[in-house]
Amino acid sequence: MNQIIREDMERITEDPFFQQLAGSRILITGATGLIGSLTVKACLRYNETHDTKISVIGMIRNRKKAEEVFEAALTNPHLELVEGDLRKPLEVPDDIDYILHTASVTTSKLFVDQPVETIETSYRGTKHVLELAKEKQCKGMVYLSSMEMYGRPDPSLERVTEEDLGYIDVLNVRSSYSEGKRISECLCAAYADEYKVPVRIARLAQTFGAGVLKSDNRVYAQFARSAVKGEDIVLHTEGKSNGNYCYTTDVIRALALLLCKGENGQAYNICNEETTTTIADMAKMVAEEFGGGKSKVVFDIPEDARTFGYAPDVKMHLDAGKLRGLGWKPEFGLREMYARLIAGMEQ
């Protein structure tokens, strides 16, 4: 674990809401993804400095990838890695106190190339996790949704709250992701109401920070790698769409809070409201601040908009007031997010 990630893990474990998970058994789906893997590592870091341990069950699809991500922790007695397909019913022995459901298809191109699998993973996976939470009578569960579930909200809105749902073209195959998130949220609300499953919904802004995997090819990772190499940052759209962002540690602190607190069946935006900017402006900032005078922003827009699977342009400024009302606030702005991301890459 490099120094930047270690600092981030220590910041998480010092959070009072994270410490409420002491002595619990937590199932984390999507354990090799960015949020899942860092949450697992935060739990294990917590165990190094506290007597009351957290036991983690990390649900994975690929054993080889998991062994790379958790290389230093494979023999840790408080970590159990379980291979499974979330599209099938889950069997996990013994009690589970909390569930963090992070597993999802996250690659934009796959939303277009494999829309059926994208929807299946979202709906069936969430249903099977909710059934497990119901069976185990968990104390709390958090489902990771996305700001993409808002679609295209009213552009006249100054801030987008949890009630401001916008338009989604259901016949556009890329909507497999955003519609999958919507039906999964509806399923969470249904289980909370009918079966009293204590599930809360986290609507995440774009999340990144130190610990981004080498295979991550989302725009923030592309921007950072280009700047580090002194290469041009290439945009395949006009970059007019608003991006909303949040640093990894701020997100994980929010998720720990929601596991222990919040209203069942309700959704909460997780974002740093000060980071909202257009993709083009963010690219320009990264080039100027981290490109060493060698990087600039260039546009290479394909004729076929489906080529990269990017979402349509949207004007959206997320409001995190509901989550802040529970006692959370973000600590990292956009420039510092990139500084820590790049420092982590370099280490």
> Residue 106 sits in a domain of what CATH number?
3.40.50.720
pLDDT at 166: 95
* Spans of the chain, pLDDT less than 70: 1, 304-312
Does residue 143 lie within any of the structural domains?
yes
Could you tell me the pTM of the whole model? 0.93
Judge contact between 188 and 126, C-beta under 8 A.
Answer: yes
**Residue 71 per-residue DSSP state:** G
Domain count, the chain: 1
Does residue 252 lie within any of the structural domains?
yes
- Contacts of residue 156, defined as CB under 8 A and 6 or more positions apart, other chains included, come to none
Does residue 305 lie within any of the structural domains?
no
Does residue 225 lie within any of the structural domains?
no
pLDDT at 214: 76
pLDDT at 308: 61
pLDDT at 346: 86
- Alpha-helical runs (H) found in 14-160: 16-19, 34-49, 63-69, 108-113, 115-136
- Alpha-helical runs (H) found in 212-309: 219-229, 248-260, 279-290
pLDDT at 310: 65
- Contacts of residue 134, defined as CB under 8 A and 6 or more positions apart, other chains included, come to 191, 195, 197
Judge contact between 80 and 51, C-beta under 8 A.
Answer: no
Which structural domain range is residue 93 located in?
3-210+248-274+315-332
Query: CA 204 to CA 272: how far, in whole Å?
Result: 10
Query: CA 248 to CA 345: how far, in whole Å?
Result: 15
Query: CA 310 to CA 215: how far, in whole Å?
Result: 18
Does residue 288 lie within any of the structural domains?
no
Query: CA 230 to CA 57: how far, in whole Å?
Result: 40
Does residue 223 lie within any of the structural domains?
no
pLDDT at 306: 58
Phi, psi of 83 (to 5 degrees): -80, 140
Does residue 164 lie within any of the structural domains?
yes
Does residue 233 lie within any of the structural domains?
no
